[in-house]
Amino acid sequence: MHFARAFVAVLVLFPVALAACSAPAQMASSDAPAVAAIIVKPRIATSDSAAVVRPIQAALGEMAGVKYVRPMAGDAHVVHLTAPAQRADVAKLVERVRASGNFEYVEVDSMLTIR
């Protein structure tokens, strides 16, 4: 009797455990703090935020989370890079996005000051 219960339990739990182990890695949370803000201008103008984020995610893989912030004038967009990225990695991550060839320009968003 105990063997039958154990066997049924294994049959029920095995597919659940298998599915959990084979699930894709979780993307960065949408509430993860921003490590850096970057401005990107796609080669093909778009207002679709997913069309902006998708090539950035493809270029960075699991090195950084990507969160769309807002559109800008001139077909550019502001995007946040989030964990697991570190501030020290920002320059390297920007270069990877540039190297993807999907954007006319990619730059770190920074506050300009008038002196």
What fold, for 34-108?
Answer: Alpha-Beta Plaits (3.30.70)
**Following CA atoms 43, 100, 81, 87 in sequence, which dihedral angle do they give, to the nearest 10 degrees?**
-130
Domain boundaries, the chain: 34-108
Tens place of pLDDT for every residue, the chain, 115 residues?
665 665 555 444 455 544 444 444 444 455 788 999 999 999 999 999 999 999 999 999 999 999 999 999 999 999 999 999 999 999 999 999 999 999 999 999 987 778 7
- Rounded CA-CA distance 73/95 in Å is 23
Kindly report the pTM of this predicted structure. Answer: 0.70
Query: Quick one: pLDDT at residue 28?
Result: 43
